[in-house]
Amino acid sequence: MNRQTIPLKIIRKHFSDPIYCAGLILLAVTLIVFIIPDLMPVLIPVEEGFIWFCMNHAITVLYFCILLFSRRLRKGREGLHPFFLFLLMFLVSAYSLNRYFTIFEVSTTWFAITIVLCTVNYAAFAFLRVMPVPVRVTMFFLLGLSFCCFLYMIIYIGPYAILGIIASFFFGISLHALVPLLFCLYTIRLFLRSYAKKRTYKLAFLSGIGTTLLIVMVYSLIWRVKVLEMDKARYRPVTGDTYLPGWLNVAQHITPDFITERILKADMVYTTPDTWGASDSFFGIGPSRWNEGKKHDPLVMIAAALGGNSSMYEEDRIKVLKATYDSRYQAEERLWSGDDLQTTHVQTAARIWPRLRMAYTEKTVSVRNMRNAGRGRWRDSEEAIYIFHLPEGAVVSSLSLWINNKEEKGILTTKAKADSAYKTIVGVEQRDPSVVHWQEGNTVTVRVFPVLDNEERQFKIGITAPLSLEHGKLMYRNIYFDGPSIAGTGEHVDISFETPPSDLNQSGIFSKGNDDRLTAGGPYLADWEVSFKDEGLVHKLFSHNNQTFTVSPYRKELAAADIADVYLDVNNAWSKQEYRSVLALLNNKRVWVYVNDKMEQVTPANTDGLFEQAAEDRFSLFPFFQISQPATALVITKSVTNSPAINDLEEVSFMQDQENIERTSFIQVLKKWLGGNQHVMLYNLGGELSPYLRTLKECRTFRYDQGDIAGLQTLLDDHRFPSSIENDNRVVIETAGMTITRTPGTEVSTAPDHLKRLFAYNHIMHAMGPRLLTGGQESDTLVAEAAEAYVVTPLSSLVVLETQADYDRFNIEDSNNSLKNAGLKNKGAVPEPHEWLLIVLGLLLIAYLKYRPALFKRTDNI
């Protein structure tokens, strides 16, 4: 027979087999039925979801009956390949059942892809003789891999397999626990029936098994080494004046890779032997403070069984994740779950004032509860939480929540009142509120409740922000958020300009209109920007409540700097070349390095040693209170973005007196030092400041400057350093290269009210200074300033409640003498009292002139 006709003959043979073809069709139907609940979860109530499993199961049983009664399962009837179609249907049916009786949590992406490849490979074995030799080798390799995967599943669900046999009388549903065993047995049979005697294919099959075992062994070994490193760091002995809790030592010394992340998330997210089968649900992982979907990763399961788990408590592991992986959203405190929420659409509308270097952005966000319980009950409600990342100096100036399809605007009140109202209503009464709170590190948190099952909620947040001035260009960057899933989220963007921008450059997603308006539509993107040439500031002003606000360029004012001590805040972000270059500039000064939790002076003998020790730390927490002479001290720093924030450091303690072993809280010592209004010179060698330093900078703790080593050399040679020019009537917005000045008096407004909002926020931050951390009493003056400008600050929040009675109950009143919620249509020219008087007099004059003839005519008739 011609060798070229063999492939065609094999293909015709299978597709002329009615039972095999019926199996392919039923397998396709089974897959369609399986994915429908995932594609349309909102349309399928939870109670009805089990019906889709029953359909899967019925199709599987039907095909098994076809094979049984057609006697294709008998020896010599070539029933192996049709039987594998039955096994594939059985596997799909098992995963469908797993949705409602969870044995395996959601598989990680790599394992899901592996299972899909294995199943496709099983189906392809019917056409093995058609394939070229390299493809056959690959298929046998995958067959070995498949055997290992299903062998793992046998071990994982072994106890349930026994129960499956005992309870098999119940429509055979429990027999799904035997699916991995059947696959293992028939994988061996398939191997033996398919060229098993050929050495090449045999080696490929064994290589698949060997490679899988090698990966598992290497992964488990790395896992064990990292667990030991964590435990060693956790119990690191105290060598200096500062005591770091175990979790902070771990965060400071681990390498943040994907295996480390899984070790930290073990039990909370990933199934391990410790949590397998123990839960308050049917099976799986119990409740956790970590807000992330539960997952099943065989490598994690095996590595945890062989290499053990970290001994850290869950609370400590959450702190490490927050400080290492920028996972603060997952650690956010919740009153209700948000597991089934999905962000469905984002509407971004922005107004930019190029000649004032500012913008106002409104984000209208729609969030849907994808769960369909078919009941719409309050106990099925979920809480939506969003963390918005704002540019430096930006402030939230509006909030709206749609209640009964009507937009309800927020009211500004103190943070304490807003928090009390939200927690009372959400935690006890379970009705409609929304609130936005200020957080450290240029972020705000928006909470929306309730999002009922199969329903959608909508809220809008407005942000007043300065533009970023970079190398002669103004940058407007998207204000992104962390929140419910953005898979499939759509976005529409509309950007308008007060004056036409020059040399406009935008991301490729935008199309430009005739009026320089930029629009875009498509999938949600967190990272996009618009830039244009800076043409300088224009003299415009905004006037309100007998105060006038104007903008002007910011120019650094250099003051004399008699620097005696230089402190190097060295960590893993520094290179050795940078370290040596900086030291070369400091020959005539005392130089100190903070290493091993104590301050060490640099000498020729220990120069390199101090660097090697300090550079082992992934981040540093420089103790500014250990600087003996702040007025003549310079701190040089370089940071990593992911590190602890100040509110994470409550457990850190410091030994103030070597003769007294009693320790004082690191935060308390820092707060006391800040209370002395110290202003240390801080020079940033580049990059974004760490959350710790960024918060201290917001407190106006530093005389701050940033640049490269050449810029540092210039400052040192000139014995000068930038001084703070902020006061009660002037704030600096450094990123925009401008200052905003407040003067008494009233003039005609030519600028938007956002000018006052930016001034108020930055002035409050400047005025609070150390009190931002020291917990000093709220200043009535600052609270009133926030209320007048209607901005969210550490003292104030915006809240939306369901009824006026709710506002009255919590003593939340709207100010009549405020700017109210900002808006895109607001022009900002709010009339002053005397202007209102002129307007009223003008209207009366117009009415008099219009109706005067009629009045005179009536008088003549009389």
Average pLDDT over residues 744-755: 92
Distance CA 591, CA 640 (A): 22
CA distances from 732 to 554, 726, 740 (A): 7, 6, 7
Q: pLDDT grade, residue 439 (50/70/90)?
A: confident
Nearest-angstrom CA–CA distance, 385 and 479: 16
* Cα distance between residue 740 and residue 732, in whole Å: 7
In tens, the pLDDT along 525-539 reads 999 999 999 999 999
Structure confidence at residue 246 (pLDDT): 84
Query: Average pLDDT of 20-44?
Result: 82
Omega prior to 450 cis, within 30 of 0: yes
Residue 858 has pLDDT above 60, yes or no: no
Instruction: Report whether pLDDT(722) > 60.
Output: yes
Residue 566 has a pLDDT of 95
pLDDT of residue 659: 43
pLDDT of residue 164: 65
Angle, nearest 10°, between helix axes 18-39 and 46-69?
170
Continuous H helices in 194-277: 199-234, 246-253, 258-265
Q: Per-residue pLDDT averaged across 189-218, rounded?
A: 91
Residue 777 pLDDT grade (very low, low, confident, very high; cuts 50, 70, 90): low
> What average pLDDT does this structure show over 44-59?
75
pLDDT, the chain, mean = 85
> What percentage of the chain reaches a pLDDT higher than 70?
85
Band of pLDDT at residue 170, cut at 50, 70 and 90: low
Q: Above 90 in pLDDT, residue 299?
A: yes
pLDDT of res. 772: 66
pLDDT confidence bin for 283, thresholds 50/70/90: very low
Q: Could you give the strand order of the β-sheet that contains 468-470, starting from the edge strand earlier in sequence?
A: 468-470, 473-477, 529-533, 502-506
The helix (run of H) or strand (run of E) holding residue 664 is strand 664-665
Render 4-56 in DSSP notation, one character per residue.
THHHHHHHHHHHT-HHHHHHHHHHHHHHHHHHHHHH-GGGS-HHHHHHHHHHH
Tokens of 680: 């240390």
Round to whole Å and give the CA distance between 349 and 460: 11
Write out the two tokens for 668: 């308390």
Q: 329-355: per-residue pLDDT in tens?
A: 888 888 788 888 999 999 999 999 999
State whether residue 528 is helix, strand or coil.
coil
566-585 residue pLDDT tens: 999 999 999 999 999 999 99
Flag whether pLDDT at 505 surpasses 60.
yes
The mean pLDDT of 169-198, rounded to a whole number, is: 83
User: Which segment of 301-305, 342-346, 804-808 scores lowest on mean pLDDT?
Assistant: 804-808
Q: CA-to-CA distance for 365 and 461, rounded, in angstroms?
A: 8
What DSSP designation does 379 have? G
Q: What is the pTM of this model?
A: 0.83
Average pLDDT over residues 604-620: 91
Q: Percent of the chain beyond pLDDT 90?
A: 47
Mean of the pLDDT values across residues 642-663? 65
Q: Which residue would you say has higher pLDDT here, 414 or 282?
A: 414
Mean pLDDT, residues 742-767 taken together: 92
d(CA 775, CA 778): 8
Using alpha carbons, select from 486, 487, 468 the residue that is nearest to residue 476: 468
Do 389 and 442 form a contact (C-beta atoms < 8 A)? yes
Residue 27 has pLDDT above 80, yes or no: yes
Residue 754: which of 762, 745, 744 has the closest Cα? 762
Answer for the pair 294, 269: CB distance below 8 angstroms, yes or no. yes
Q: Evaluate if residue 289 carries a pLDDT over 90.
A: no
In this structure, the dihedral spanned by the alpha carbons of residues 762, 763, 766 and 769, taken in order and rounded to 10 degrees, is: -100
Q: What is the pLDDT of residue 657?
A: 44
Report the candidate in 748, 751, 719, 635 with the shortest Cα–Cα distance to residue 682.
Answer: 635
From CA 338, how far away is CA 411, in angstroms rounded? 25
Tell me the pLDDT tens digit for each residue of 448-491.
988 988 889 999 999 999 999 998 999 999 999 999 999 889 99
Whether residue 97 is predicted with pLDDT greater than 50 in this model: the reply is: yes
- Please report the pLDDT score of residue 641 as a whole number: 81
The average pLDDT across 169-196 equals 84
Angle of CA points 215, 217, 221, to nearest 5°:
115
Pair of tokens at residue 90: 């059985």
Q: What is the pLDDT of residues 117-126, one digit of tens each?
A: 999 999 999 8
Position 859 scores a pLDDT of 45
Q: What is the pLDDT of residues 588-602, one digit of tens each?
A: 899 999 888 788 999
Residues 449 and 430: their CA atoms lie apart, in Å, by: 8
Q: What is the DSSP letter of 485?
A: B
Rounded CA separation 349/406 (Å): 19
- pLDDT given at position 654: 57
Q: What is the pLDDT of residue 245?
A: 82
